[in-house]
Amino acid sequence: MAVTKSLPTSGLEINLTVGDLITLTGLTPLQVPSPDKLETGHLRVVTGACIVERPGAVEQLEAGWLAVTEGSGFPIAGFTDPISRDFIRQLDIRGAAGLVVRLGHGWDAVPLAMIDEAQHLFLPIFTLPGDETPAMLLRLVHQAVGQQEIAVLRRALSVQTELIDALTYPDVERELINRLSTRLGVSAILYDSTRNVLASQGEAPVHLIRDRIRSDTDAETNFMVGRWEVSVAPISVPAGTYWLALAWHESIELSREIIRSTRYALQQLLRTHLTTQQNSKRHDLIQRAELLAEIIDGLTSARLARLGDRLVLLHFPRDGSFQIHAMQHKPSIANNYAEPNKTTPDIDSTLGIIQDTAEACGISVLLAEVNNHYLILLPRSEVFTRELLLRTSEFDHGTSSAFSDLTEARLALRQAEMSLHTSVRNGALTPFDQVGFINFILAQVPAETFDEKVDEVMSGLLSSEPMEKTVIAFLRNGMDIQATARSMHLHPNSIRYRLSRVENYLGRSMSDPETVTLLFLALHDRLDRAPALKPGVEIDG
């Protein structure tokens, strides 16, 4: 059959093999002793061909190409010819698909040294009749490879069009992975920066693949997991590095070019989507923080009316029952807590948890981080508070009383702070409605006003550590001189002397109820009294 025969329009969409050329042309394979090796040779993929008429010309050969020769540039030698044997070895090293010898011009038969060496290396050798030209064989190979590349491109573009369409769906990541898996016939898995599975489709072992992901490289990695061939590629986004894994059975024939180009397209789409999503989330958090700052700074009814449209855009209700929730790291954790670098574009992970919790509970909240405290203004929701406690167990929490007018948010913030302060001392959430009387009274006074008054009255006392400790012990022991002396391991007269000095500092008598009340209010956060019964985590709205 002549090599000038028309190339089929189908049947070569995946790869052109040596077996295809035998069918389409006048190529005749030289038999080798092992039939199974002969069959394997026929399955070799052909990606090109070039004419090689001298032993040193193999440098132009690429992997998967056929070497075609008439032998005119080779010396005639016998079975032990080292040049012929070295030529075959060089073809094998360069990954040649085989050697085609046109007979009747340079050689009448293939040199025995070449045949023997090719049999040892299982490199296929074919003969081409003298009435067929190498140029026609090369034309056929290039035509077939060109058709294959066009088919790959057509299929890749078809897959990529479907992937682009997936960007219009609500759950973009899952839709992209599902479509990629379905169109390529592979398992596809997307892991986030913590290697949790964001989306997966197929039967591949997602956890075994996850354990093989290397975070110390930004290059594609390929490995085997059981009978699965796996290819993992990183995707860099503002939130970190995600990983896309494709897995297929080793027995499945796939076009690596389709996988490569499709995966590249998916990487770009995911990177664009995740970056846009991250920027959108960051902008949303900024808007919520700005609104919260305006509201807790103190609103008039007129200013609240002007904020109406901005609240609507964030789906935050203007009417109803509201609450302020305050959070801070527990002391044992706060000591080891590094404040997030505000110069990086990353979103504060705690704000992300709060926002995700709100979305899961079906409410919209305003939130912000202020000096390592997290403030949340929310529509009253027991479900949200309970869920947030579960998700942020490393934090202490405080909640205000419910209120219905957003102009009262400033007072509610003070209540939430007092609740938080009490919760830190009690070791469990103590809603403001369960806070003791002293803290309840203090919550009615703006913090800055109270602090100014404390500094004015107590500045002299607080500058003397022994005096301050004595007053705290005196109040903690019910103003009992003897009990105070025992707790401080001092003589009662030492306590009396110190208290007289306190009276001199204050210019007030320690027997005056107003003085005792003043000291108790000023030092309430230092008394560290353990209540008789520790409140639980009952939640008030």
- Assess whether pLDDT exceeds 70 at residue 12: no
Q: What is the average pLDDT score of the chain? A: 79
> If you average pLDDT over residues 401-429, what whole number do you get?
87
Give me the phi and psi of 352, to 5 degrees please.
-65, -40
Burial class of residue 76 (count of CB atoms within 10 Å of its CB; 0-12, 13-18, 19+):
exposed
Identify any residues that bridge with 189 across adjacent strands, giving them in sequence order: 200, 245
Residue 484 resides in a domain: yes
Query: Which spans in 307-381 are helix H?
Result: 308-313, 331-334, 349-360
Do 392 and 328 share a domain, yes or no?
yes
pLDDT, residue 136, reads 79
Do 390 and 431 share a domain, yes or no?
yes
What is the per-residue pLDDT across 472-512, written as a single tens digit (0 to 9) for each?
A: 888 888 889 999 999 999 999 999 998 888 888 888 788 88
pLDDT class of 267 with cuts at 50, 70, 90: confident
497 is written with which tokens? 């002397």
Do 418 and 332 share a domain, yes or no?
yes
Q: How far apart are CA 135 and CA 532, in angstroms?
A: 100
Residue 380 resides in a domain: yes
pLDDT, residue 533, reads 32
Do 272 and 321 share a domain, yes or no?
no
pLDDT, residue 340, reads 44
Domain boundary among 423, 442, 461: 442
pLDDT class of 513 with cuts at 50, 70, 90: confident
Domain boundary among 396, 414, 442: 442
Do 22 and 132 share a domain, yes or no?
yes
Q: How far apart are CA 259 and CA 142, in angstroms?
A: 22
The CA dihedral of 395, 401, 406, 410, to the nearest 10 degrees, is -70
Number of domains in the chain: 4
pLDDT class of 6 with cuts at 50, 70, 90: very low
Do 310 and 434 share a domain, yes or no?
yes
Phi-psi region of 338 (alpha: psi -120 to 50; beta: other; left: phi over 0): beta
Which has more confidence, 528 or 45? 45
Identify any residues that bridge with 225 across adjacent strands, giving them in sequence order: 228
> If you average pLDDT over residues 227-247, what whole number do you get?
85
What is the per-residue pLDDT across 174-194, written as a single tens digit (0 to 9) for each?
A: 888 898 888 778 899 999 888
- Assess whether pLDDT exceeds 90 at residue 215: no
Instruction: Enumerate residues 6+ apart whose C-beta is below 8 A from 371.
Output: none
pLDDT, residue 10, reads 41
pLDDT class of 446 with cuts at 50, 70, 90: low
Do 307 and 182 share a domain, yes or no?
no
Do 208 and 258 share a domain, yes or no?
yes
Domain boundary among 387, 418, 442: 442
Do 332 and 463 share a domain, yes or no?
no
pLDDT, residue 385, reads 94
Instruction: Enumerate residues 6+ apart whose C-beta is below 8 A from 26.
Output: 1, 2, 3, 128, 129, 132
What is the per-residue pLDDT across 135-153, written as a single tens digit (0 to 9) for each?
A: 878 888 877 777 766 666 6
Q: How far apart are CA 291 and CA 366, in angstroms?
A: 7
Residue 540 resides in a domain: no
Residue 271 resides in a domain: yes
- Assess whether pLDDT exceeds 70 at residue 344: no
Which DSSP string corresponds to 47-102?
Answer: -EEEE--SGGGGGG--TTEEEEE-STTSPP--TT-HHHHHHHHHHHHTT-SEEEEE
pLDDT class of 62 with cuts at 50, 70, 90: confident
Parent domain of 211: 167-277
The CATH number of residue 80's host domain is: 3.40.1390.20
The CATH number of residue 193's host domain is: 3.30.450.30
Residue 291 resides in a domain: no
- Assess whether pLDDT exceeds 60 at residue 237: yes
Half-sphere exposure of 331 (CA within 13 A, CB side): 7
Do 61 and 80 share a domain, yes or no?
yes
Angle of helix 112-121 versus helix 82-93 axis, rounded to 10: 30
Residue 282 resides in a domain: no
- Assess whether pLDDT exceeds 60 at residue 258: yes
Q: How far apart are CA 47 and CA 123, in angstroms?
A: 16
Do 132 and 23 share a domain, yes or no?
yes
The CATH number of residue 505's host domain is: 1.10.10.2840
Q: How far apart are CA 398 and CA 409, in angstroms?
A: 15
Q: How far apart are CA 290 and CA 491, in angstroms?
A: 57
Identify any residues that bridge with 98 across adjacent strands, giving them in sequence order: 66
The CATH number of residue 407's host domain is: 3.30.70
Question: Residue for token digits 């590095």?
Answer: 241
pLDDT, residue 289, reads 93
- Assess whether pLDDT exceeds 80 at residue 436: no
Do 187 and 305 share a domain, yes or no?
no
- Assess whether pLDDT exceeds 50 at residue 539: no
Residue 356 resides in a domain: yes
Residue 498 resides in a domain: yes
- Assess whether pLDDT exceeds 90 at residue 53: no
Q: How far apart are CA 147 and CA 142, in angstroms?
A: 9
